[in-house]
Amino acid sequence: MMKEELQSIKQRFNIIGNAPALNRAIQIAMQVASTDLSVLITGENGTGKESFSKIIHALSPCKHHTFIAINCGAIPGGTIDSELFGHEKGSFTGAIESRRGYFEEANGGTLFLDEIGDMPLSTQTKLLRVLEYGEYVKVGSSKVEKTKVRVVAATNVDLLQAIKQGSFREDLFYRLNTVPISIPPLRERSSDIILLFHKFSIDFAIKYRVKPLTLTLPAKELLLTYPFPGNIRQLKNIVEQISLLSAVEVVTPEVLTTYLPKAPNHMLPVLYKRWAGSELPQQEFLYAMLFDLKKDMSELKEFIFKFVGPGVVQNPVNFSDQVRFLGSNNAIKPAKHETIEAKEGILNKSIENFSIEAKEKELIYKSLEKNHGNRKHAATDLGISERTLYRKIKQYAIEENQFTQ
């Protein structure tokens, strides 16, 4: 019976796949739906977290009431309280009339708070009170309002790490995490990748009036080994591009490589955590990290010259120079002769005047300037999400009003 119900839910919410981790996540969503417990859905971008919040709502006692999905990362910090809790007329500049917030609109229903890790601390405090007592106060009001809303939250970041960094409240985490649901990334669902490819191929064949794509065996093997950092969303985009832009019906590895990004890391150069949890000795770890950094800087320089032309990067770092590594106490120390020096002769010079953050900020600034402050267009130019761009703008304290016409 459970297997039949599981299959029915998949068909209803258009979920493709039979990976055990995926089935387990769906089963938890089905079991918790009839309760009033808070649920925290975790998973990378593009894994379909919102679909699980809809499953919970559809199978809950409040299924006939409102369901509202909110992306906390896409709402500016200065307006998120107004969006969630509403405001009174005249409570701030531009508040020409009173406004109902999402907690009032969704009263009796379900509110899905996506990217909860991006919510400001002050708003987290107010959210905790809603979860504990069902009470909130509109911006500019002193009247306590009541609401009964089922809150389902989701995040793609490590909230326990965010708690250590002081950017997320520990009490809110444990209040939200009553029932955790973990959505597996696509690379851990290799048995589902080909199924998804064929599903998307049929969908786009109907949409664009073309024949469905078929995969050769080597092409299937290539798909199964690709890490898909963008998960299902990335795979869907790739299938759509091939269906629309390619004249072929049989997809070979040569065709796939035209549409698969050469590197899975983002265009903006952030040191990824490939070596996290590694058993490498400290100096071996630093040695590997250095060459990851070298690769990122090379990609950054290529992108800057393509995007804003020459003349932007001054005094580029020469990574063939010898460098000294940081010791455990953050003091510059020479490496031991028998390790790094013996391998590459990389010693005796430190990296000077080097800042990935400075280049990243400069690139974001120029993109915003080019697009007259339009975040959506700037994010598209940079190859990142609008939410990521918004976080970067806050991180570097970039004043956006200087770019508007």
Over the stretch 323-350, which tens digit does the pLDDT of each residue have? 443 444 444 444 444 444 444 444 333 3
User: What is the average per-residue pLDDT within 278-300?
Assistant: 48
Give this prediction's pTM.
Answer: 0.63
> Which residue range is the domain that position 384 belongs to?
358-402
Task: Categorize the per-residue pLDDT at 161 as very low, low, confident or very high, splitting at 50, 70 and 90.
Answer: very high
How far, in Å, CA of 106 to CA of 125, rounded? 20
Q: Does residue 268 lie within any of the structural domains? A: no
Q: Does residue 275 lie within any of the structural domains? A: no
Q: 279 pLDDT exceeds 50?
A: no
Q: 403 pLDDT exceeds 80?
A: no
- Single out the residue in 182, 200, 235 at which a domain terminates: 182
User: What is the average per-residue pLDDT within 220-245?
Assistant: 94
Tokens of 118: 């991006």
The alpha carbon of 68 is separated from its chain's Cα centroid by a whole number of angstroms, namely 20
pLDDT of residue 328: 40
How far, in Å, CA of 122 to CA of 151, rounded? 18
Are residues 75 and 139 both part of a single domain? yes
CA-to-CA dists, residue 283 to 140, 170, 188, angstroms: 56, 35, 31
Q: Does residue 272 lie within any of the structural domains? A: no
Q: 230 pLDDT exceeds 80?
A: yes
Residue that wins the pLDDT comparison between 105 and 342 = 105
Residue that wins the pLDDT comparison between 357 and 201 = 201
Are residues 115 and 194 both part of a single domain? no
User: What is the average per-residue pLDDT within 311-315?
Assistant: 46
Q: 395 pLDDT exceeds 60?
A: yes
Tally the domains of the chain: 4
Q: Does residue 44 lie within any of the structural domains? A: yes
Q: Does residue 151 lie within any of the structural domains? A: yes
Farthest-apart Cα atoms in the chain, separation:
72
pLDDT of residue 282: 42
Are residues 67 and 118 both part of a single domain? yes
pLDDT of residue 147: 95
Q: 289 pLDDT exceeds 60?
A: no
Counting residues of the chain whose pLDDT is more than 70, the rounded percentage is 76
pLDDT of residue 297: 59
What is the DSSP annotation of 286-347? HHHHHHHHHHHHHHHHHHHHHHH-TTS--S---TTS---EE-TTSSEEPPPIIIIIHHH---
How far, in Å, CA of 229 to CA of 235, rounded? 10
Which residues lie closer than 8 Å to 112 by C-beta, 6 or more apart? 50, 53, 54, 57, 67, 68, 69, 70, 152, 153, 154
Counting residues of the chain whose pLDDT is more than 90, the rounded percentage is 58
Of 67, 45, 122, which Cα lies nearest the Cα of 386? 45
